[in-house]
Amino acid sequence: MPEPNETDRYERPLARIRRIIVVLAIGGTVFVSIAYGWQTGVGFLAASIASYWSVWRWHRVVESIGPDSVRKRIPVSRFILQFLLLAMVGYVIVKYLEVNRLAAVSGLLVGAAAVILEIFYEIAYGA
């Protein structure tokens, strides 16, 4: 088996994490919608999308660190503004759509669950 290069070594796990997030979000949304109603399912889905966005955003931040970074660094003020916007969207979803707070928090944890599942995958199948 050929040795993966440095880019593949980090991009493949990230791609798996993204796929796991999508699978958990869809499966969780279906389960929560059936068990607790469509509004709660929408809240879980919206929070899962926010979790996916957060993982994507942190990936971009990590890529921008270092002397030979490919990406242009974003100003800290823009980074903080984006997270404030995300917090405001979450507040609107929970407050005005009357979504269950537990479903919203569970959806936000989808990214963390995907990372933990990727860790287990790497322990079981990693080089």
119 Cβ contact partners less than 8 Å away, ≥ 6 residues apart: none
Give me the chain's average pLDDT, please.
Answer: 83
pLDDT of residue 72: 63
Question: For the whole model, what pTM was predicted?
Answer: 0.78
Residues 43, 90: Cα–Cα separation, whole Å: 9
Residue 113: band (very low, low, confident or very high) from pLDDT cuts 50, 70, 90: very high
Q: What are the residue ranges spanned by the domains of the chain?
A: 6-125
pLDDT at 101: 83
Report the run of H or E that residue 8 belongs to, with start and end.
helix 6-36
- 76-88, pLDDT tens digit by residue? 787 788 778 878 8
Listed residue (25, 26, 20, 3) closest to 118, CA to CA: 20
Q: How far apart are CA 23 and CA 62, in angstroms?
A: 24
> What are the b/e assignments for 18-46, b being 16+ CB within 10 Å?
bebbeebbeebbeebbeeeeeebbbbbbb
